[in-house]
Structure 1
Amino acid sequence: MAPIESLLWRRLRIHQIYGANTDVGKTIFSTFLCNAASNHRGAERVAYLKPVSTGAEDEADTKSLEGIINQSSFSHIKRFAPSASTDVLYQYDIPCSPHTAALASGRIYPIEYLRTQPIPSDHALLRKIQNVAAEQAKLGHGWLFLETAGGVHSPGPSGTSQAELYAPLRSPVILVGDSRLGGISQTISSYESLKIRGYDVASVLLFQNDQYNNDGYLEEYLYKQGKIPVTTVPEPPARNSNHDEDNQALAAYYRNVDSSDKISKVVENLDQRAEDRVSQLQSMSERAHKTIWYPFTQQKLLSPNSISTIDSAHGDYFQVYKPQNDTESSDRPLLQPAFDGSASWWTQGLGHGSSQLTMAAAYAAGRYGHVMFAEAIHEPALTLAEKILQGTQNPRLTRTFYTDNGSTGCEVAIKMALRASRDRYGWDVNDKIEILGLKGSYHGDTIGAMDASEPCTFNEKVDWYQGKGYWFDYPTVNCTNGKWVVHVPEPLREHLGNGEDFESLSHVFDISSRSQSAVLDKYETYVQLVLEKLGKQGRKFGGLMMEPVILGAGGMIFVDPLFQRALVNAVRKSAHLIGNAQVQPTNDNDWSGLPVIHDEVFTGLYRLGRFTSSSFLGVHPDIAVNAKLLTGGLLPLCVTLASESIFNTFESDDKSDALLHGHSYTAHAIGCQVALESLDELQAMDTQGDWNWARNSNWKETAASHDSATTPEVWSVWSREFVTEVSQKTDQVSGIWALGSVLAISMRDADGAGYKSKAAAKLQATLKQAEPWSMHTRVLGNVFYIMASQKTSQEAVEEMQERLLHGLEQTS
């Protein structure tokens, strides 16, 4: 199911005509626009399309594409804008809302849908519109007007509001306002409904009505909102029961209005706006190259041609500008869909342009704006704090601390842990306290969070970086040649053995069964040996900090979950090696050994298929950090969750003992409200079984291969067969893994793996250049990764799998 592209061609002007209500004159204004566009300079062709029409055949706006309606029955547009070609895609014979007509109508056009699909899907309808537009673009310079049915929120055939349905097309809108009593409210409400969904309202048209003077108010209001021009024309003559006389009166009406040049000026303005839009897209990459300092980018290697100009985004796809040179056909669309393969730096969960999240943000913005948070509370922040604590199902976590992003959230977590350890073990204020972690981990770009990671490309040239910690090496997991392999690095094999092979991903995560083997003891013994060695060196540590299961920025490294479980177990048993063995936890939910911090900024909130990635390990952290998917990709927000014992460390009569950390936008109401909406939707999807197609299709273990009673639920949207097939391309691929929405492929590199490797860049470039839609991805050195959103369909995933296999063949 190919994605829908926005409608933008160099030689074709496309506009959607929406009405603020039913019976406001959309078809009359469409007639005016068709006539004016026909006379506009350079116009070779004008077309009118009514995607969905309801009512009896002789009242239809046009004849259908398939010619089902009697061709002797001429529409209003055909009679009074004879130079325009006219089409309708779906004609229902009952005069009511399209979704009702689609269900109740005895006939539906085109007729073949009766046998296959009585009600067209949103995608099918948009695809037909796109095909019509593409055909028009081939015919030369011209105009295409798409007239919607009823009002802005009138449902389409499937029941989807038209404001939602047509949003992916992102054509500029001509809004026909309501000149009647109550029309000001209707028009403004319609405008705001469109605006909030990312439409560009280019012009507002309405009839003159001296009794209510709606146009005067609307002109002032819409100018303040966005300098949107408002144009009025006289009302049409009253309908005459005599057909011939009615036609004559209407013909005279159109001639009179056309002679006033009012609509011609509207068309001139629309043409200029379209030209400005294209010019803007053409210049953006060059201007950006001169003015923007890009993150995680070597600017010297960047050129304007390598900068993607994104016009809009909807669902899983960007709409990316594709420049045209002089030798290319000008009927090629200027925008191309590109799958957002990095989920916009791992934030996207509910898709771009989610009106659900937009409405939540608008509601909170209207209700609160921003309010300061110190010693105050508002409903979104309190409800979110309670909700996310409940969702973790972690009896240790009782407190929520808000910050703006994952890096600062991790920095707060470190502050919490270090203070708790210093306080419990009575260390001197001048003692250097470090963090235990994992090699390859990375917790953010602020200096404190950066110091919790080992020296690496991200921090090696940062002047203040000190690297305050010890980072364990560990076994990793990959699917190689069809087997799930736990690989033990050579230096660790003396302690940990040679690793293991497993038949399935579920076997890897079967911590309960694997804990019965000698491997867990080997892992724990090794950790305790290291802790003993560090203790003898006089080093002090204030916390164990790690990303559960997957180390993200460090290279999408899949850590053996049993090792992480053993690491937590060993640290919690080793107070005598860390500080003072005489100090004991006060209860079962108090921390022991060291506070355990789980950085779930990337891995949490269903990214890997579960609410928390900690649950894969079967352990409860004392501190957890969540961001990224928290707001579904719309706004920055982070929560650091802590246990009551950690919280109590900061209680004192001295204010300087408090956790003195915060931001101006701490717990901003808009972000909290959006996060609530996002979590509600993600949890509902989980409960309703929206991902069952992935859970049950090929990842679910059978009793024949595994004990189904103890098998942990482990799945991915990326199919098991696909992962196996890629894993067998051993000349190109050293390993692959898939979990939840994430897929990572480690490419072989003779010069060595790592962030500076370019081994994955060729595959990335091949997928970026694909037609008719591409994949916009990021790479981490030799690791090519791609992730779906939590809304990505099975069909979309299957198409991307085909693209990836083809891309690997092209780059072999």
Structure 2
Amino acid sequence: MPPVGAGLWRSLPAHQVYGANTNVGKTIVSTVLCNAIQNQRKKAAFLKPVSTGALDDADDRHLSRFGAGTLTKCLYQFDEPVSPHLAARQKMIPRDDDLLASIHQTLSDWARSDIDLALVETAGGVHSPGPNGNSQADLYRPLRLPIVLVADSRLGGISSSISAYESLVLRGYDIQSVLLFRDDYYQNHEYLADYFNKKSIPLVSLSAPPPRPPVENADTQARDEEAMSSYYRQVSAESDILRLLEELNTKNQKRITRLEEMADRAQDLIWYPFTQHQGMKPKDITVIDSAHDDYFQTFGSSQSKESSAELRPTFDGSASWWTQGLGHGNPDLALSAAYAAGRYGHVMFAGAVHEPALSLADRLLKTIGNPRFTKVFYTDNGSTGMEVAVKMGLRAACDRYGWDASQEQISILGLKGSYHGDTIGVMDCSEPSTFNQKVEWYRGRGHWFDFPLVKMVNGTWKVEVPAELKADLGSEDAEFESLGSVFDLEKRLGSEATQRYKTYIHRTIKDLVERHGMKFGALILEPVILGAGGMLFCDPLFQRCLTDVVRDHPELFSPNASSPKSAPSWSGLPVIFDEVFTGLYRLGRPSSASFLDVHPDIAVNAKLLTGGLIPLCTTVASQEIFDTFSSPEKSDALLHGHSYTAHAVGCTVAVDSLRTMDDMDKNGSWDGFKADWDSKSVTSTSGPSDVWSVWSQSLLQDLSRAETVESVFGIGTVLSISLRDAEGGGYTSTAAKGLQQKLAVGGDQFNVHSRVLGNVLYLMSSVTSKPESLKEMEKLLRSSLI
């Protein structure tokens, strides 16, 4: 089922009617509003997505009877007068996606007619379950219709009304009005009017409807209907109701006007990251109204001719710069954040501790599973986390080898195409590139190895050796029967390629140290995939060999060095893994280091750490690295930190994010994807069985054979497509722009917001992406490339 767009129509103010509780009068309020519209010689429509109980008591029947000509519709009717999730057990249960699609289609049809107001009424209270047992607040969230909240005028109604309001706000709804019946005894309307007035939400109190007769027969039913008709005639003509309807219409138009103006205002006021503003126009700016699951809701993006809605679902193809893990608008993470904000706000961390920081450190170490790690250092993003890692590594090396960094340059070893962040310090850990060459303080202190790349070409997995490296390695490209066999290091370490890799690496380092006088303080790697450098999939055997040479030959870095006796101790150089992008299930495993079967001495995690909600980063290190900074002198401490270190909100969200992903890993949530990639079910009989991707093998096979495609790869949530470029590709290439533009146009149901790195277009899903959603994405990719 394609995704559903959020509900916004220029010609149709559509609102969802929620109740603070059951039996608070939602249908009566809806009838009042519809009558008021009809009295103005306009047309109203009423939609009841799910109704339970006898037909005669159905809410849409009430609107048909008293709604003065209101158009009514019910999508799913269940006979039992119980909660929808119970009533649905006796009948075919509509899927949540089907229900949402039906609602959106109905409202779109009404928007193309002459309807002036549409109300979508829920069942029961805010958290009453839908047919599949999901809270209505979550079930209807993709539509994100503006809310008319019917408050509770009964005893306890103040609490239930405020609780309902907070539950809706927590999920990103806009509450545009509150209505309730006046009760002179409890006087909830007076208290709530003051409460909501402070939040600039209008509250309208209505006179209570006439009580229903205790005994119903033909005579009493007739009198009851006349009393209700009289009630509706009177209340629907009240000035407060007429003013409220005008406000609802005005808010709808103002919302659209704000969205129309946002791109122009953004161009005037905002300096965008990684953007050359020369020639940029407002149409180039994506206006995002909201986001849910894997999709933005965007305004002004290309719509199909059949669509009358102003918002369109747009697949978040970059996972919001690689941060998105558990879906946009995740209510569980939002609740965790709200809890921590209410419990702590922010509290300073130096010399103090709070439960979220302690819990996260404990869980993170267990999730990563590296026996070397004992300490967790908190920062706010991957770049600053890498700054800390570099400080740790260089200090440890200088301390062991007796080097004075103030008197001599200490460099790092890494790979070409590496990029570890935008702060000045870690920029120097990358080779010269478009990112840093025009940064005035950049010096580029290190040596970066070229390396073989993993890619699928014409349906075959290959390890491709760059032309300039073939002479040094003395090897040609190699083909593999599956992606799993590429990662079968147990087998590959005994191959001739391993010896060639190690000989080349050893020879290069020896030459750099002995002939050029370089001193190295750390080895820094992005395990498996180098992200910002262009989605470069490094041969895992090469990274493993590089790590092994560094650790097995400490004499390369200092003539008197020897391998430490204790196993957890670092040897040669401290090994730093930048897992900001590839860590924490991005590639399908808790740690991307496991693909190399290497335990680094320092590792950095961010992005997926909080499921895509809060900025937070951790730098984890071994006890030995930590002990390097232990001294009677304050100046020997790791003097690094920022005001929001170990932000309690971020730590709380991260604990829940890790718990969720760990549970998914254990409970089989990804078994369907794994089955598709099980090497034994395809052609291979060897290789790890837990190398898999959410992107299907058949998609990669098909795309790799497309005329415009040079190569592809998929692993975990990552899909990378390299487009052919006669100029040779690279970050400044425009070869991927054509595909990016096709995806931006999209199909009838949705389009795609994607990022390109030169001639490479990459896509990423969340770890919670539904197979159905990914299948729709794959259809769009095929139609765009094949």
2:568 counterpart of 1:594: no
Q: Which amino acid aligns with 1:346?
A: W
Q: Report if the CA contact (8 A) 1:137-1:331 is conserved.
A: no
**Counterpart position of 2:46:** 48
Superposition pairs of residues 540-555 of structure 1, within 5 angstroms: 540-555=519-534
Check whether the contact 1:239–1:246 (CA below 8 A) recurs between aligned residues.
yes
Q: Say whether the 8 Å CA contact 2:33–2:236 is kept in structure 1.
A: no
| Residue 196 of structure 1: aligned partner | 170
Q: Which runs of 5+ in 1 are unaligned?
A: 63-74, 109-117
How far apart are residue 324 of structure 1 and its match? 9.0
> How far 1:651 moved relative to its partner?
0.1
Indicate whether 1:409 and 2:382 are aligned. no
2: CA distance between counterparts of 1:765 and 1:217?
A: 53
CA distance in 1 between counterparts of 2:561 and 2:448 reads: 27
| Number of the residue aligned with 2:112 | 138
- Mark the CA change 1:180 to 1:402 in structure 2 (over 3 Å): closer, same or farther: same
- 1:141-179: per-residue Cα shift (whole Å, max 9, x none)? 521101110000000011000000011111100000001
Change (3 A) 1:553 1:323: closer
1:94 pairs with one of 74, 80, 94: 80
Q: Describe the SS at the equivalent of 1:744.
A: strand
| Structure 1 position 467 matched with structure 2 position 444 | yes
- 1:88-141 CA-to-partner distances (Å, cap 9, x unmatched) read 1111111111111111x4xx5xxxxxxxxx111111111111111111111125
Contact 1:391–1:611, Cα closer than 8 Å, also in 2 = yes
Name the residue aligned to 2:22.
22
Tell me how far 1:495 sits from its aligned partner: 3.1
Give the alignment partner of residue 701 of structure 2, picking from 721, 724, 732.
Answer: 724
**Fraction of identical pairs, as percent:** 53
Pairing 1:228–2:204 present? no
1:512 and 2:490 aligned = yes
- SS of the equivalent of 1:169 reads coil
Aligned partner letter, 2:94: P
CA contact (8 A) 1:699 1:719 kept: no
* Number of residues of Structure 1 aligned to a counterpart in Structure 2: 777
SS at match of 2:614: coil
Q: 1:663-701 deviations in whole A, cap 9, x for unaligned?
A: 100000000000011111111111011111110124433
Which residue of 49, 58, 61 corresponds with 1:60? Answer: 58
Q: Specify the SS of the correspondent of 1:471.
A: strand
Is residue 76 from structure 1 mapped to residue 71 from structure 2 by the alignment? no
Query: Which SS does the other structure have where 2:204 is aligned?
Result: strand
- 1:513-662 matches, cutoff 5 A: 513-536=491-514, 537-662=516-641
- Determine whether 1:348 maps to 2:324: yes
Q: For residue 585 of structure 1, what is the amino acid of its counterpart?
A: P
- Measure, in 2, the Cα distance between the counterparts of 1:374 and 1:711: 43
**Aligned with 1:89: secondary structure?**
strand
Amino acid at match of 1:296: F
**2:236 aligned counterpart, secondary structure:** helix
Q: TM-score, normalised by structure 1?
A: 0.94
Give the drift of 1:484. 1.0
The alignment partner of 1:299 has SS state of coil
**Aligned counterpart, 2:276:** 298
**What is the Cα-based RMSD across aligned positions, in Å?**
1.5
Instruction: Indicate conservation of the 8 Å contact 1:11/1:330, yes or no.
Output: no
Distance in 1, Cα, partners of 2:84 & 2:775: 32
> C-alpha distance in 2, partners of 1:637/1:735?
34
SS in 1 for 2:155: coil
Equivalent of 1:736 in 690, 712, 721: 712
> What SS does the aligned partner of 1:167 have?
coil
Once structures 1 and 2 are overlaid, which stretch shifts more, 492-501 or 405-414? 492-501
Structure 1 residue 528, shift from structure 2 partner = 0.7
Give the C-alpha shift of residue 577 in structure 1. 1.3
Aligned to 2:182: 208
Aligned counterpart for 1:499 among listed residues 446, 458, 477: 477
Give the distance between the partners of 1:453 and 1:323, measured in 2 at CA.
37
Q: CA deviation at 1:261?
A: 2.0
One-letter amino acid matched to 1:332: S
Q: Name the amino acid aligned to 1:365.
A: A
Q: Offset at 1:741?
A: 0.7
- 2:726 corresponds, among 735, 744, 750, to 750
Comparing 492-501 with 733-742, which one deviates more in the overlay? 492-501
Q: Determine the C-alpha separation between the residues in 2 that align with 1:258 and 1:477.
A: 69
Q: For 1:661, what is the secondary structure of its paired residue?
A: coil
Deviation sequence 1:201-222 (CA, Å, 0-9, x none)? 0000000111111111111212
> Which segments of structure 1 move beyond 4 Å, counting only runs of 4 or more?
328-331
Q: Name the CA distance, whole Å, in 2 between partners of 1:795 and 1:484.
A: 26
Match of 1:180, SS state, is coil
Aligned position for 2:234 = 256
Aligned residue number for residue 465 of structure 2: 488
Give per-residue Cα distances to partners, 1:65-96, cap 9 Å, x unaligned.
xxxxxxxxxx2211211220111111111111
Counterpart-to-counterpart distance in 1, 2:227 and 2:698: 68
Q: Distance in 1 between matches of 2:769 and 2:533?
A: 26
Report the CA distance shift for 1:323/1:639 in structure 2 as closer, same or farther (over 3 A).
closer
1:700–1:715 Cα contact (<8 Å) kept: no
Deviation, 1:485, is 1.1
- Work out whether residues 729 and 758 of structure 2, in 8 Å CA contact, stay in contact via their aligned partners in 1: yes
Distance 1:420 1:539 in 2: 17
Does residue 1:125 correspond to 2:104, yes or no?
no
Letter in 2 for 1:573: D
Deviations 1:189-235 (A, max 9, x none): 000000000100000000011111111111121222x2111110111
After superposing the two structures, state which structure 1 stretch, 426-435 or 284-293, moved more: 426-435
1:421 corresponds in structure 2 to 397
The residue identity in structure 2 corresponding to 1:102 is A
Cα offset for 1:311?
A: 0.6
Question: Following the alignment from structure 1 to structure 2, what is the Cα–Cα distance between the partners of residues 445 and 12?
Answer: 46
Could you tell me whether the CA contact under 8 Å between 1:425 and 1:580 is conserved in 2? Answer: no
Asked if 1:801 is matched to 2:775, the reply is no
Equivalent residue, structure 2, for 1:689: 668
Gapped regions of structure 2 (runs ≥ 5): none
Q: CA deviation at 1:266?
A: 1.1
How many Å separate the matches in 1 of 2:679 and 2:94?
Answer: 33
2: distance between equivalents of 1:254 and 1:36? 9
Preserved contact between residue 699 and residue 716 of structure 1 (Cα < 8 Å): no
Cα offset, 1:38, TM superposition: 2.4
What SS does the corresponding residue of 2:501 show, helix, strand or coil? helix
- Matched residue of 1:259: which SS? coil
Residue aligning to 2:8: 8
How far residue 565 of structure 1 moved from its aligned partner, in angstroms, is 0.2
Pair 1:37 & 2:37 matched? yes
C-alpha distance in 1, partners of 2:682/2:560? 46
Letter of the 1:579 partner, please give it.
S
Deviations 1:762-793 (A, max 9, x none): 10001101232101100001001001110111
CA distance in 2, matches of 1:259, 1:353: 39
Please tell me whether the aligned partners of residues 19 and 176 of structure 1 are also in contact (alpha carbons under 8 angstroms): yes
CA distance in 2, matches of 1:151, 1:175: 10
The answer to whether the 8 A contact 1:442-1:551 is kept is yes
CA distance in 2, matches of 1:16, 1:686: 37
